[in-house]
Structure 1
Amino acid sequence: MTSTDHADALTDGDFVRIEYTARAVESGHVVDTTDPAVAADADIDGLDADGPIVIVLGEEHVFEPIEETIRSIGISGSTTVTVDPDDAFGERDPNKRETVPTSLVPADRREAGRTVSVAGRECVIESVNDETAHLDYNHSLAGVTLEYDLSVGGRVTGRDRVEGLRALHGLDAEAVVSDDQLSISITATDPSQERDRRLRAFIGDARRFLPVEEVSVTESYSG
């Protein structure tokens, strides 16, 4: 572990570029990463990685022990951090399980271990047959102690902060700040409530952290 000196000290509100790979301590399996090669090898459903990400310190974009470590090791620092369940996805709650008719589960995902959305709630299928499905609404990593291999790249300034915030919120769009105006262009096949949620979150953070007075949004649909 490396430690920071005064010149590299990081504080709340700093935009910071980080890289990490998280593994479940007990199994050693990769559960999250920013490294595309590691993500490809892990072959986990829904795990995508595009390289280092940008976070804003003090905004709970990562777990608290990760933030504390980032402040401690500073720019160009690297270390391994253990995150207990209470600081991550919590302990497993036996009351967050139920049995439902199999017809409520998407037909193409009726398989034990799959993560699905049932009645608007995300859950994991524990078991399923022709009649019933046993569902677990705990987060798939509830009760799991995580170990992060963490590296801090550097502060992010200027136009890179716009792209960093956009990527952080997972918004598939073009975003540019010019003369205190944030211009967002979205091209998609259909409207999406999830995209709208990401858009609102991105705009909210852009107003807080960037020199933005006005926001314009252009949406084009080809479907």
Structure 2
Amino acid sequence: MAIQKGDFIKLNYTGRFEDGRIFDTTDEELAKKEEIFNPRGLYGGDVVIVGAGHTIEGLDEDLEGKEAGYSSTVTIPPEKAFGLSNSKLVETVSITKFQDRNVHPGLPVELEGKRGVVSRVIGRKVTVDFNSPLAGKTVSYEYTIEKLLEDDVEMIQGLLALYTGMRDMEVEITDGVAKIYVPTGLTFNQRWLMAKNRVVSELFKYAGLKEVQLIEKLTAEAEAPVPAEPEVEAEAEAEAEVEAEVKEETSESHE
């Protein structure tokens, strides 16, 4: 059966720069070998909805019309990958903006809630590039469509894993009503608070549900808190707010 927009699929992939360097992968062993392993990332394949913006545009488009089991490599230009570099996102500021005055090119920084990288230091002036590290780059993705998901619970669990980084959350479905049991720690997770409305909206649109109930699950045993924000995306991954937390974030999800 050919893959169409709105289908839930399980996708394995590896993203490379033009020089062959790997910046994102769903293969845990490869991530460790390439020294981009994220201990808080999920490996073994992502569940995505085709056409929903869960992957970069060029890869998303290439999935349509294929079938489960299909493998290929696609080269994607910047405008359909992580965007062109925007000169308006390169700013020059005073070094007094930084608490640590040991500022140097290549230093990751955060100013006024924006993440960037120092590109130049001249005297007391610091130039910071707030573009995505992947902006302006042509990339390639080697991918395999592992399966087309048809089980409703599996689809919902996969979507939840994409947004929360947690696999196999408890889900029940009866007559078009989905009950999602949310672990206590997740209810205080900033990523989840930002993403849950979008998750529910996508479940209505793509899974055909009539109602979604988010139920906080309490247990007698204390639950370990969920990290407030995954290390980012993919960067990608790129992955990188919630779309800026899936597509613009998902590339960061395995970095």
Give the TM-score range, shorter chain: 0.7 to 0.9
Structure 1 SS opposite 2:87: coil
CA distance in 1, matches of 2:36, 2:71: 25
Structure 2 unaligned segments of length 5 or more: list them.
Answer: 226-255
The alignment status of 1:113 with 2:110, answered yes or no, reads no
Greater share of strand: 1
CA distance in 1, matches of 2:164, 2:182: 14
Aligned counterparts, 1:111-190, within 5 A:
112-127=105-120, 133-158=126-151, 159-172=153-166, 174-179=169-174, 180-188=177-185
Contact kept in structure 2, 1:17 and 1:155, CA below 8 Å: yes
* Structure 2 length-normalised TM: 0.71
Contact kept in structure 2, 1:106 and 1:116, CA below 8 Å: no
CA distance in 1, matches of 2:8, 2:203: 12
- Once the two structures are superposed, residues 32-85 of structure 1 have per-residue CA deviations (whole angstroms, 9 ceiling, x without a partner) of 111111222222386934111111112121223322322243211111100000
1:100 matched residue in structure 2: 93
1:81 matched residue in structure 2: 74
CA distance in 1, matches of 2:74, 2:145: 13
Contact kept in structure 2, 1:115 and 1:122, CA below 8 Å: yes
Does 33-42 or 129-138 show the bigger shift? 129-138
- Once the two structures are superposed, residues 137-184 of structure 1 have per-residue CA deviations (whole angstroms, 9 ceiling, x without a partner) of 111111110011111111112211011101121354834133213223
Alignment CA distance shift 1:45-1:119 (3 Å):
farther
2:32 matched residue in structure 1: 40
Does 186-195 or 64-73 show the bigger shift? 186-195
- Once the two structures are superposed, residues 67-106 of structure 1 have per-residue CA deviations (whole angstroms, 9 ceiling, x without a partner) of 2322243211111100000111222222321123446457
CA distance in 1, matches of 2:205, 2:6: 10
CA distance in 2, matches of 1:130, 1:203: 50
Give the RMSD, CA atoms, in angstroms.
3.2
Structure 1 unaligned segments of length 5 or more: list them.
Answer: 1-7
Contact kept in structure 2, 1:96 and 1:137, CA below 8 Å: yes
Contact kept in structure 1, 2:164 and 2:191, CA below 8 Å: no
* Structure 1 length-normalised TM: 0.80
CA distance in 2, matches of 1:110, 1:102: 8
The alignment status of 1:31 with 2:17, answered yes or no, reads no
Alignment CA distance shift 1:49-1:193 (3 Å):
closer
Structure 1 SS opposite 2:180: strand
